[in-house]
Amino acid sequence: MLKQRITTALVLGVILLAALFALPLEWFTWLSLLVFGYGAFEWSKLAEISSKLVQYSYAACAVVIGACVYQFYLEGNLWTLTGELSDKNYNLMFIACIWWALSSFLVLVYPRGNRVWQHQKRVKAVFGYLTLIPAWIALVSLREWHYLLDQNSGAWLALFVFGIVWSADIGAYFAGKRFGSHKLMPNVSPGKTIEGFIGGMVAVVILAIVVQWQNNVDAADWLIPTICCVVIGVISAFGDLSESMLKRDAGMKDSGTIFPGHGGLLDRIDSLTAAMPVFLILFTHFY
């Protein structure tokens, strides 16, 4: 199983790097929207929508809403000329952060707080749009950062966010396997441990320090960026736990079967959907 997971992860990594660094921005924007549309299709199952027609309609609506938000609300303006988030984009990311604060609260109080949304298809469908659409806008925003100055600067920025999430995930996996004995949130995800969570955060700290050292950042200035990276690591864990909570409520082990050894698309991007909007807000304030 581990060999299969590693093989799939390597293939996905190559595809991701090619998409980030080789695709023109416009191609990346709209192809990634279709990918998130497939994520919405998987989410429809988390929402316990059984009709195939409604599942496809839900996914199509996610694509249309995402395109409308990008074209008509944001008007394609994600950044200002000075490299800051546009006001409308900032507001959207702020709303996403509020959603993730609420989602994290629902995870913390589960199962006591699930009466409002348990088996409520419409409520969980709205949860999906609140999760996926801002996450897609955040991904495109990362990719577009300083695009006119350097077409790859945004790709590196996006890759850094992915690196934070992957470090937290990999560190948690191996630390949990080696040292895990105390359950983190057994009602939500019985396999996750406190030791694994700590191991993930240690991995994030190491990544943050290495990246700053490689970019010749003065050691005296490492603290705030490192703390921000840890915050991203923590919220990415809640992104994972949030999907686990919904899967448990729907009686599902994985969101899908598209990736051998990894489950569905949502199983791969759940942490990222939480991390990217929060990263953009922190990046705006502390960069």
Domain edges within the chain: 2-76+84-286
Q: When comparing pLDDT for 120 and 92, which is higher?
A: 92
Identify the burial level of 284 via C-beta atoms within 10 angstroms of its C-beta, where 0-12 means exposed, 13-18 middle and 19 or more buried: middle
Q: pLDDT, tens digit, for every residue of 189-215?
A: 999 999 999 999 999 999 999 999 999
Q: pLDDT, tens digit, for every residue of 250-270?
A: 899 889 888 876 789 999 999
Burial 230-243 (b: 16+ CB within 10 A, else e): bbbbbbbbbbbbbb
Q: When comparing pLDDT for 92 and 7, which is higher?
A: 92
Q: Residue 119 pLDDT more than 90?
A: no
Alpha-carbon 71 to chain mean position: 22
Q: What angle do CA 40, 24, 74 make, to 5 degrees?
A: 55
Banded pLDDT at 59 (limits 50, 70, 90): very high
Q: pLDDT, tens digit, for every residue of 165-178?
A: 999 999 999 999 99
**Amino acid, res. 197:** F
Q: What is the pLDDT of residue 1?
A: 60
Mean pLDDT of 85-112: 96
Q: pLDDT, tens digit, for every residue of 138-160?
A: 999 999 999 989 999 999 999 99
The model's pTM is 0.95
Could you tell me which residues are beta bridge partners of residue 284?
none
Mean pLDDT of 74-81: 93
Report the distance separating Cα 22 and Cα 131, nearest Å: 27
Cα–Cα separations (whole angstroms), residue 84 to 205, 239, 280: 26, 25, 10
Q: What is the pLDDT of residue 111?
A: 86
Banded pLDDT at 6 (limits 50, 70, 90): confident
Burial 74-96 (b: 16+ CB within 10 A, else e): beeebbeeeeebbeebbebbbeb
Banded pLDDT at 114 (limits 50, 70, 90): confident
141 close to 96: Cβ distance less than 8 angstroms: no
What is the rounded average pLDDT for all residues in the chain? 94
Alpha-carbon 177 to chain mean position: 23
241 close to 188: Cβ distance less than 8 angstroms: yes
Q: What is the pLDDT of residue 140?
A: 98
